[in-house]
Structure 1
Amino acid sequence: MLGAAGTLLLAAMVAAQVATGLHPRPILLTSVVVLLLAASAVAFAAAAHTLPRAVAAFAAAVAAGYAAEWVGVRTGFPFGDYHYTELLQPQLGDVPVVVALAWGGMGLAAHAVAAAAVPGSRAARIVVGAVALTAWDLFLDPQMIRLGLWVWHEPGPYRGVPLENFAGWLAVSLVMMALVDRIVARPQARGTGLVTLYTVMAVMETVGFAAVFEPPDPLVAAAGGTGMGLFALLAWRRRWRK
């Protein structure tokens, strides 16, 4: 039942994501995508680990992501100097709520990818999950900058994103993966829903930057598609070999 709910929510997220690529001002739809992403991730995690564990892991990931953003917009650490515009609402302490929810949803998905790719080692799961989550930001930051949702005070070399940002993402993601792994990691975990969610995001973002967004951006499509695609492939390869 929970797995079916996750699948329906994922399908709705795909539809909303397609609409964001076609809509001239897709800010509201962006928030809808994040809400569906988060709900789908929790449903899939609940099917694999039980609902209490899924909710606890999601809450831990959201809290870690929000705390990093709250500190980041005030100090510039650990991502670099940036601020959110007023477009994403509601905001709590100058941080849009949907940003924290996005950390939570993709945090669960990245952890599941790592658990599928390197199931035998907790340390490896944490590291692989952190890098898999950071790979998502190869898409996320360029897309959100395009939409005017946040602004870097000192633009960097990757479509305006400073390299410090990715180091910060990796550091926050390591903490997040450790928290999630402590709560949900079990050898008996079932299902491929979260790995599917991660894979769908990789495919959608790649196609979006390659052919849907105006103007297209082959560099971001290649960088993000390669980064996320590698981790998705590793996760599915382990599944296929069973």
Structure 2
Amino acid sequence: MASVELPARGRLEARLDELVVENRFTIAVVFPALGAVTLLASAEGLLPGPLSFNPYFLLFGVAVMRLPLVAGLAPVFTRRAAAGFAALCGYTYAVELVGVRTGYPYGAFEYGIDLGPMVAGIPAALPLFFVPLVVNAYLLSLLLFGDAARRATVRVPVVAAAVVGMDLVLDPGAVAVGFWAYEAGGLYYGVPWLNFAGWVLSATVSVLLVDAALDRERVLGRLESCRFMLDDLVSFVILWGTINLYFGNWVPAALSAAYGYGLYRTDRFDFPER
């Protein structure tokens, strides 16, 4: 029987899957481990100028670590999803612009290193940093809460809480390595509590947008068949867990380990032998 050729989109999705599967350990473990070492070496002044906090190396590394999430979502990414994610990106820029100009809702802060091209004082790649946190929290919560997550009254607050929890890990590590600094400091490892109140707002809005954009049943089906779909969260745990441990940020490090345990509960640590 003659084989049926996949349409162009199907071929691209299949190739992305193949690329991630063939390089899964490198993408999900080696890249974040090297990223942590590089960021720490930069923070300690151990790298020469051109390499220290090099924004293009940084963006390249982040983009590579996002590949499993991109490949995982590709088959369930519809026009509705595209519209919803476009709205989420727009919200991400808007709330960051307000934050930079007014100090609300995250607290007054300044970027400390070059995070790539800037637009109106905001990193152009901002959605690349923020949107995956929301999606990873969404996917993890769907798996961990099972049938209970079918109810929006459970799903939305649980995912929003998971997003805020990720910021409780990320922000102290980012402050420690010098990504940004809050003008008034803060009791939580240099981060003001106003920042997390702002994240409650942003997380809730973002989760509502993601929930409206994605077909949950199709996403659940893809999660069941795609073993690497949460590998970006594995990278998050390794990268920010390592950085927080290095600086003695014990609460963020423990929270990072909690996300690692959540991943363990979903039975996702199954990197194939090469």
TM-score by length of 2: 0.73
- Residue in 2 aligned with 1:217? 249
Q: Secondary structure at the match of 2:209?
A: helix
The 1:135–1:6 alpha-carbon spacing in structure 2 relative to 1, beyond 3 Å, is: farther
Deviation at 1:233, TM superposition (A): 6.0
Match of 1:119 in 2: 149
Match of 1:22, as an amino acid? V
Q: Which residue of 1 aligns with 2:159?
A: 129
The aligned amino acid for 2:182 is W
Task: Please list, as runs of the form range in 1=range in 2, the aligned pairs for 1:171-186 lying within 5 A after superposition.
Answer: 171-186=201-216
Rounded Cα–Cα distance in structure 1 between residues aligned with 2:64 and 2:164: 21
RMSD over equivalenced CA pairs, Å = 2.7
The reply to whether residue 110 of structure 1 matches residue 137 of structure 2 is: yes
Which of the numbers 134, 149, 168 marks the counterpart of 2:179?
149
Deviation at 1:230, TM superposition (A): 6.2
- 185-194 or 86-95: which moved more? 185-194
- Aligned-pair identity (%): 25
2:270 is matched with none
- Please tell me the residue identity of whatever aligns with 1:201: F
Give the secondary structure class of the aligned counterpart of 2:184. coil
- Tell me if structure 2 keeps the 8 A contact 1:6–1:44: no
* Match for residue 67 of structure 1 among 89, 94, 114: 94
Given candidates 213, 216, 232, the residue that maps to 1:197 is 232
Unaligned stretches of 5+ residues in structure 2: 1-13, 43-51, 268-274
Secondary structure of 1:187's partner? Answer: helix
Aligned to 1:16: 31
Secondary structure of the residue aligned to 2:98 is helix
User: How far did 1:33 drift?
Assistant: 3.0
Matched, 1:79 2:106: yes
Deviation at 1:51, TM superposition (A): 5.5
Return the offset for 1:148.
Answer: 1.8
Q: Decide whether aligned partners of structure 1 residues 69 and 30 sit closer, same or farther in structure 2, where only a CA change above 3 A counts.
A: same
Kindly indicate whether the alpha-carbon contact (under 8 Å) linking 1:70 and 1:95 is maintained by their aligned counterparts in 2: yes
8 Å CA contact 2:100–2:121 kept in 1: the answer is yes
Does the 8 A contact of 2:106 with 2:197 survive in 1?
yes
Q: Indicate conservation of the 8 Å contact 1:110/1:133, yes or no.
A: yes
Q: Which stretch shows the higher mean deviation, 158-167 or 22-31?
A: 22-31
Compare relative contact order (CA 8 Å, sep 6+) and give the higher one, 1 or 2: 2
Q: Secondary structure at the match of 1:151?
A: strand
Match among 93, 116, 127 for residue 89 of structure 1: 116
1:206 and 2:237 aligned = no
Q: Distance in 1 between matches of 2:67 and 2:85?
A: 10
